[in-house]
Amino acid sequence: MPFLEPKYQKAAELRSSRRPKQLAVINQGGCTGCMVCVDFCPVDCIKTVPGPDPDNPNVHKLVEVDLPFCIGCTLCAKYCPWETIEMISFQDAYEVAPDWTLRNIIEKQWDREPVQVEVERKRRARPPRK
């Protein structure tokens, strides 16, 4: 990651082994591409989705949260001037996000949550009960 606010370093490190209670989900229908949320995200997990015209990528650009890196700090939701970011429970965020996403650039966004992989791995490694 190119930027990580020192205060949030620990939370970012723990992210792969501990699920945040909630994740930020952007309702892109209300996003103006103002980029305020990008400036506030302490772990740099909000990505710019260019506009549909490759010659004018800044026109109708949107943003997308890279969910497996969101630490649930709520800053983006608090400061979005258009109130189009909601904090959704971890369980529900991955179901809600595809419905609220008009365009995305992060591949396989909805099924690459590292925490789920981690939990699954631990479950398999547990020895059988006697």
Interacting residues with ligand SF4 (CB under 6 A): 24, 26, 31-37, 40-41, 43, 45-46, 63, 65, 70-76, 80, 82, 84-85
Minimum Å gap between C-beta 35 and ligand SF4 is 5
Measured from the CB atom, the residue of 30 and 120 that comes closer to ligand SF4 is 30
Minimum Å gap between C-beta 37 and ligand SF4 is 3
Measured from the CB atom, the residue of 70 and 97 that comes closer to ligand SF4 is 70
Q: Are 95 and 110 in contact (CB under 8 A)?
A: no
Q: Are 63 and 48 in contact (CB under 8 A)?
A: yes
Minimum Å gap between C-beta 126 and ligand SF4 is 31
Measured from the CB atom, the residue of 84 and 101 that comes closer to ligand SF4 is 84
Measured from the CB atom, the residue of 110 and 122 that comes closer to ligand SF4 is 110
Tokens of 57: 């990528």
DSSP-derived secondary structure for 34-97 = --HHHHH-TT--EEEE--S-TT-TTTT-EEEE-GGG-----HHHHH-TT--EEEEEHHHHHHHH
Minimum Å gap between C-beta 54 and ligand SF4 is 20
Torsion sign across C-alpha atoms 18, 22, 28, 30:
negative
